[in-house]
């Protein structure tokens, strides 16, 4: 069993399909609100967070703290976040508050991705 798993390529879940099915079955009234994000070819981690918030609303403080420590972002999403910061002229504190994350994380990303001149 373990050998089979090593040979298989790890792929991300098909969030687009998951959210479409969820909206169709349980939340048909939220289809219009989520239409713009679901029409994208691929969903980024940031898109998934936005969809989650639009469908389920805001979380209570305890759930929010738990989820915050279990988030992960891929390279493309981090670059998208940093571009958003630059475009909207946000400082690290403002961006961190918007995304409910640490200012230190944003600072670290900026140092690591300073090699990418496209930001």
Average pLDDT, the chain: 82
Indicate the pTM of the whole model. Answer: 0.56
Domain ranges of the chain: 13-57, 72-119
| pLDDT surpassing 90 at residue 91 | yes
| pLDDT surpassing 70 at residue 72 | yes
pLDDT in tens, 80-89: 899 999 999 9
What is the DSSP secondary-structure string of the chain?
-HHHHHHSPP----HHHHHHHHHHHT-GGGHHHHHHHHTSSS--HHHHHHHHHHHH-PPPHHHHHHHHTT----HHHHHHHHHHHHHTT--HHHHHHHHT--HHHHHHHHHHGGG-TT-
- Cα–Cα distance between 23 and 72 in angstroms, integer? 24
pLDDT in tens, 93-116: 999 988 888 899 999 999 998 866
Q: How many residues does the chain have?
A: 119
Picking from 46-50, 61-65, 78-82, which range would have the lowest pLDDT averaged per residue? 61-65
Confidence band, pLDDT 50/70/90 cuts, at residue 1: very low
What pLDDT does residue 8 have?
54
């Amino acid at each position: 069993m373990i050998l089979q798993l090593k040979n298989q390529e790890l792929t991300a879940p098909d969030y687009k399909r998951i959210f479409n099915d969820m909206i169709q079955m349980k939340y048909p009234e939220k289809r219009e609100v989520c239409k713009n994000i679901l029409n994208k070819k691929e969903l980024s981690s940031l898109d998934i967070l936005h969809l989650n918030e639009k469908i389920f609303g805001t979380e209570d403080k305890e759930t929010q703290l738990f989820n915050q420590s279990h988030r992960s972002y891929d390279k493309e999403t981090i670059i998208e976040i940093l571009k958003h910061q630059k475009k909207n002229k946000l400082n690290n504190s403002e961006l961190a508050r918007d995304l409910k994350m640490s200012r230190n994380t944003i600072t670290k990303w900026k140092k690591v991705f300073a090699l990418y001149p496209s930001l």
